[in-house]
Amino acid sequence: MQEPSADWVAIAPRFTPGWPWPEDSYGLGPMYGNDGWCRGCGTPLVEQSGPLVMQGSKFPTADVWMPNWLFDVVCVSEQLAADISERFSVDLGEVHKPRKGPTGVQQILPALTVDSWHRQEELVLAVRARHSEHHGDQTGSSCATCGRWKWLPVGENEAPIVASALMSTSDVLASPEVFGDGLKSYRHLLFRRPLGETLVAASPRNWHLVEAEVN
């Protein structure tokens, strides 16, 4: 197991192209199975086992892109996927079109860590700093359907991240904490700096690097 490092970054999209299929599951059905995600809060309940399926019309063409709605999904072109799979420790999954199947485009599959990334009191402060004007002291909600807690949205750089929680051999990690509002639900992603910089450099008009505070 690789030692934790402070050299982690996030990447943020300037826009999110394309729409997952089918719309009635926001694309979650093919990825997690029809019973693998909560219809009350949109949170996956199991690990991803199926492909991301994107509507065929206006299929994204950038080398690195994030689809609408799925804010913890990062996809790369076939050529870039081959490059990063050789250079970095990453798992990749297929991206399909509904009728045509595999496209050659690949989804970067993060390793889901177990320990909390954030000290709760620091995350509470970050959420209130962002949302107090419209949500008062509310920091999130517990889903009435699945019982899982979801924090109101904040960025990866808005609350300190505990370095010891980032124990993994993978070069891309997903937080155990879930963020979002309504049916939007996503985990924070962190990339080791060389991978994050590679992804931003491959599609600089679409992405920017976000420095995370890891200590």
pLDDT per residue as tens digits for the range 131-144: 988 889 999 999 99
Once rounded to an integer, what is the mean pLDDT over residues 83-99?
Answer: 97
pLDDT per residue as tens digits for the range 39-66: 999 999 999 999 999 999 889 999 999 9
Q: Output the CA angle 36-40-45, nearest 5 degrees.
A: 25
Amino acid at 64: V
**Residue 163 to residues 89, 105, 110, 142, Cα–Cα distance (Å):** 19, 32, 17, 27
Contacting residues for 113 by C-beta, under 8 A, at least 6 apart: 165, 166, 167, 168, 173, 174, 175, 176
**The model scores a pTM over 0.75:** yes
162: phi then psi, degrees, rounded to nearest 5:
-75, 120
